Amino acid sequence: MSVIVRTISRVVAPVALAFGAYVIMHGHLTPGGGFQGGAVVASVVALLVVAFESGRWKKWKDVLLPLEDLGAMAFTILAFLGLGATFFRNILAGGGGLFGAPVPQLGPNPGALNTAGTLPLMNWAVGLKVIAGLGSVVILLSLFGREDG
Amino acid sequence: MGNMPFVVSMILVMVGFLTLITRRNLIKLAIGISIIEMGVNLFLVSLGYVKGGIAPIYTYAPPGAKEMVFPTPQALTLTAIVIGLATTALMLAFAVVIYRHRGTLDAEKIRELRG
Amino acid sequence: MLIHAPILAIAVPLLGAFSLLGLAYLSRTLRNIWACLISAFTSAMAVAVAIRAFTEGVVVYTLGAASPTESVTAGGFPIRIVLVVDGLGAFMGLIAALAGVVALVYYFQYLKEEEGKSLGLSLLLLLWAGILGLVYTGDLFNFFVFLEITSIAACALIGYRTWESRPPEAAFKTMAMYTLGGLLVLISVGILYGEYDALNIAYLSKAITGSLLDKLALGLLLGGLLMKAGAVPAHMWAPDAYGEAPATATIVLVANTQAAIYAILRVVFTLFGGALAAPGIGWLIASLGITTVLVAVLMAVVQRHLGRLVAYGAVSQLGYMLLAVGVGAVARGGFGEVALTGGIFHMINDAASVGLLFFVVGAVRRATGSVDLLSLGGLGHTLRWEAGFFLLGALALAGIPPLNGFASKFLIYESTFRASPILAALALLASILLLAVVVRAFQGAFLGPKVREASPAPRGMLVAMGILALVIVVFGLFPGFFIERIVSPAVQAVLTGREAYLAAVLGG
C-alpha cells in the first residue's frame, strides 16, 4: 500500500487499539463489551494487514489460535465457578472483593468500574477470544489469496 | 411513521432474497445472506424502541428519567450480529476454498454435486 | 452434582471442545484421554437427565439464579434463562448421547493426524453441545443460538476435507440453507418477542392467542425448521452434506437433523399447542413428509455414489418421521398417539441404521479410496464385517422384520392408514423401493468377484459399528420394552405434557 495509507494506519492503529480496550473494560457500564471491543481491535488487525504486506502476519496466527482457545475456556470456567449455586451464577457481585463494590444510586455518575462481579471478567475473556478469533480470520482470509498461504 | 423501521427491514430482507435468486457468484450469495441478516437485525432492534425513551445506560440516566428503550432486543441483536459474523466468515472461507479448487466463483460452473 | 446435570451436559462438551485444542499442543495421548473423559461424562449426564425426566417429570434448571428451580418472579413472569427437559427432550438427549459416543469411538482410527484430527474432534464436541443445548433449552432465543451453533459446527464438519473439491461446495450450500432457515426462525422469535415481551417457551405458550401475527410466526418457524431438517423442497443440501461429510460426523449430523424434527414437535405441540392446534398444520407436515419420502427414494434409485445413495435413504427416513409428526398433529390422540410413537421411536432407529450405513461407507472409502458403485465390487471377500453390517443396516433402513426399522415403520403405516389410506400406500411403496435400492447397493459393492484389494477397518471403527448393530438388533427384538421405557414418556410429553411443561416452568 502507499505511504499515505501506511502513515495514517500508524497514527490510527494505537488510537483504535486504546478505544477497543476501553470498550472491553467498560463493557459492564456502558454499551459495548467483549465482542464489540474485540471487533474494534480486530479491525485494527485488518487495517494493518491491508496497509502492510500480509505475508509477515502469517506467524501471528499461530499465536492467536491458542489465545482464542484460552479466551473461550476462561469464559466457560467463569461460568462453571457459579456451580455452587447455579451455572453462570455471579459469585463475585456484591461480595466486596474483586469487582464486588456496591452499585451507586441511579443517576448520572462516572460509573463504578469495580462492580458487576464476574461480568467484567467474562467481558475480558470474550474480548480475548474475539480479538484472537476475528484477528486470525482476517489474517487467514488475507493469506488465502497468496501462493504460500 | 412508527412502522417505518419494520417496512425498511422487510425491504432489506426482500432485497437479500432477490440477490440470492438472481446472482450466481458465491461471494454475492454470501452478501445476499448478510443483507437478509441485517434486515432481521434491524427488525429486532426496532422492536425495542420506545418513542422518547432514553438510551438504557445506567450511569447516564438523568434523575427524572421516565422511559428507557428496551435493552433486551439490543442484546438479542448483538448476539444475532455475532452469529451472522461467524456464518459469513465461514461462508467466505468456503468460497475461497472453492475458488482455489475450481478457479471460478460462478455457482453454475462449480456445481459437481447434482441429483 | 446431579442437580446440575442438564447444564453440565451442554457446558462440559463446550469446555472440552475449547480445551482439546490447547491440550493437543502438549500431547496427543493426553488429548485422546481427555476427549474420552469428556464424552463419557457428557453422555452420563444426558442419561442422568433422562432418568430424572422419565421418573420425576419435567426437569427445570435456571441459569444464574440462587437455586436451580427459581425461574419466575411472583405472578409467573419468567426473568431468567431456563433449561427445561421433559420426556421428549430427554429422549433426544439419549439419541445425541448415543450418536456422540459412537462417533467418537469411530473417530480415533478414522481420521489421520495430518488431516487435522484435533480440530475435527473439537468441532464434533461443539456440534454435540449444540444439539444437547437445542433439545434442553426452554428459551426461544437460546433455541435460535443453539440452532446456529449446530449449523456452524455442522457445516465446518461437512466441509472438513478442504483438500478435495466437493466437500466445500456441499458445505457452502448447506451453510446457505441453514442460515436462511435460522433467519426465518429469528424473524419469528422477534415477532413473538414483540407481541408478548417474553422469550420463555412456557410463558409464550401460555400467552399466545392465535392472532394473525402468531400464525405468521408459526409459519416462519416451521419453514425455517423444515429447511434445517431437509424436507422437500429444501432438501437439496442434505444428500450433498451427508455424502461429502466425513463418515464419523454423519451420525451426529443425522442427530442434528432429528433435533430439527424435535423442534418441530416442540413448536407444534408445546409452543402453539394451545391456541393454534388446527389439523391443517398436521396435514401440511404430513404431505411434505410423504413428498420427501417419495422424492428421496426416487433419487436414491439413480445414484452411483454409495455415500449419496445412503444419504438419500437418510432423507427418506426423515420423511417418514415428518409423516408421523404430521399424522400425530392431525389426530392429537387416538391413532395420532400411535403415529407419534412410531415417529419418535423411528428417530433412534434411524440414527442407528443410517449411522451404521454411513460408517460402513466411510470404511469402504478408507479401504478402497472410492465410493463409486461402478468401480466397486466383491468387497465382501475382504471386508467381511463391513459387509455384514451394511446388510444389517440396509435391511433395518428398509424396515424388514425383525429389525428395529420394522417396529417403528409398522406403527407409522398403521396410523397413517387410519388418517389417509393413500398416504399409507405411498409410504409402503416407497419402503419397498428403498429395499430394492439398498439391496442393489449391497450387491454392487460387496458381492461379485473380487475386483481389488482392500484392507479391513481397524478395530475401533468395527467396535463403533458393532454398537450400532447391537442397537438395531436389540431394539428390533424387544421393541415393546423400549417403547414403554423411553419412547412412551416422550410421546406423552408431546401429546399431554403441555400443561406439565407450563406448570413446571411457571409454577402453579
Cβ–Cβ contact A91 with C under 8 A:
no
Q: Residue B51 domain-assigned?
A: yes
| pLDDT score at C507 | 75
Band of residue A105 on the pLDDT scale cut at 50, 70, 90: low
Per residue in C87-124, pLDDT (tens digit) is 899 999 999 999 999 998 888 888 776 677 888 888 99
Complete DSSP assignment for C210-233: --HHHHHHHHHHHHHHHHHHT-TT
Domain count, chain B: 1
CATH number of the structural domain spanning residue B76 = 1.10.287
Among B60, B62, B78, select the one facing A35 at the smallest CB separation.
Answer: B78
The upper half-sphere exposure of residue A14, i.e. CA atoms within 13 Å in the direction of its Cβ, equals 3
Q: To the nearest whole number, what is the mean pLDDT of chain C?
A: 87
Q: Please report residues of C whose CB lies closer than 8 A to that of B20.
A: 176, 180
Is the distance from CB of B91 to CB of C152 less than 8 angstroms? no
- Cα-only R_g, chain B: 19
Contact B26 C172 (CB under 8 A): yes
Residue A94 resides in a domain: yes
Does residue A149 have a pLDDT over 60?
no
Lowest mean pLDDT of B50-59, C120-129, C211-220, name the range. Answer: B50-59
C111 Rama class: left (phi>0) / alpha (psi -120 to 50) / beta:
beta
Pair A123, A114: CB distance under 8 Å: no
Nearest to C224 by CA among C164, C177, C285, C274: C177
Please compute the mean of the pLDDT values over residues A65-72 and round it to a whole number. Answer: 84
| Residues of chain A by 3-state class (helix, strand, coil), percent to 5 | 65, 0, 35
Q: What is the mean pLDDT of residues C444-457?
A: 81
Question: Which of B90, B92, B100 is the best substitution to test chain C (most C C-beta atoms within 10 A)?
Answer: B90
pLDDT-based confidence at residue A106 (cuts at 50, 70, 90): low
Provide the greatest CA pair distance for chain B: 66
In a domain, B110, yes or no: no
pLDDT-based confidence at C74, cuts 50/70/90?
low
Is residue B111 included in any domain, yes or no? no
Residue of C116, C101, C59, C103 whose CA lies nearest to C82: C59
Residues of chain B in contact with residue A29, where contact means CB-CB under 8 angstroms, are 57-59
Quote the DSSP letter at residue C61: E
User: pLDDT value at position B37?
Assistant: 93
Structural domain of residue A73, as residue ranges? 3-144
Q: Which ipTM was obtained for this model?
A: 0.92
- pLDDT at position C277 is 77
Within-domain flag for A130? yes
Q: Is the pTM of this model over 0.90?
A: yes
For C238-256, the pLDDT digits (tens) are 888 998 888 888 999 999 9
Residue A149 within a domain: no
- Tens-place pLDDT, residues C341-375: 999 999 999 999 999 999 999 888 888 888 888 88
Contact between residue C339 and residue C412 where contact means Cβ atoms under 8 Å apart? yes
Helix (H, G, I), strand (E, B) or coil at C62: strand
Q: Does some domain include residue B63?
A: yes
Provide the shortest C-alpha distance from residue B26 to chain C (in Å): 9
Q: Is residue B32 part of a domain?
A: yes
Does residue A55 have a pLDDT over 80? no
Does residue B1 surpass a pLDDT of 60?
A: no
Interatomic CA distance for residues C87 and C230, integer angstroms: 25
Tell me the per-residue pLDDT of B76-90, one tens digit each, with 9 for 90 and over. 898 899 899 889 989
Taking 70 as the threshold, does the pLDDT of residue C258 lie above it? yes
Q: Residues 2..41 of A with a Cβ closer than 8 Å to C: which?
A: none
Vertex C258, ends C253 and C262: CA angle to 5°? 145
- Tracing cell 424436507 back to the chain, one arrives at C231
Burial annotation C161-184 (CB, 10 A radius, 16+ → b, else e) = bbeeebbbbbbbbbbbbbbbbbbb
pLDDT digits (tens, 9 = 90+) for C265-286: 999 888 888 777 788 888 999 9
Look at residues C169, C350, C180 and name the one whose alpha carbon lies nearest to residue C250: C350
Chains near C with 3+ CB pairs less than 8 A apart are: A, B
- C-alpha cell recorded at residue C502: 407450563
- For an interface test with A, which of C21, C136, C137 has the most A Cβ atoms less than 10 Å from its Cβ? C21
Q: What is the pLDDT of residue C225?
A: 92
